[in-house]
């Protein structure tokens, strides 16, 4: 897993988060809308859960890559 994270460059990870992670940009980013639905307890439809996963995965990739980078520098 660490090798897979190391093989993905930072520009690609950030580009994925900025495009797929935030699309559509107007009226508000989809991931923000889905997170608000989750906090309000309104994220029930299967399509909404799938949509949140699809828009959230690039952000999870960035956070995983950040964690991997931080832990590899301390070792």
Residue 67's domain comprises: 2-74
pLDDT at res. 72: 82
The span from the CA of 71 to the CA of 49, in Å, is 31
The span from the CA of 28 to the CA of 6, in Å, is 32
Number of structural domains found in the chain? 1
Residue-level pLDDT, tens digit, the chain, 75 residues: 788 888 999 999 999 999 998 888 888 888 999 999 999 999 999 999 999 999 999 999 999 999 998 888 765
pLDDT at res. 15: 95
Per-residue CA distances from 20 to 9, 11, 33, 63, 71 (Å): 16, 14, 14, 15, 27
């Amino acid at each position: 897993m660490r090798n897979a994270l190391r093989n993905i460059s930072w520009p690609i990870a950030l580009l994925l988060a900025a495009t797929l992670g935030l699309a559509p940009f107007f009226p508000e980013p989809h991931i923000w809308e889905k997170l608000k639905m989750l906090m309000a307890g309104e994220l029930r439809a299967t399509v909404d859960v799938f949509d949140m996963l699809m828009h959230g995965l690039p952000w999870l990739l960035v956070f995983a890559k950040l964690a991997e980078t931080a832990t590899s520098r301390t070792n």
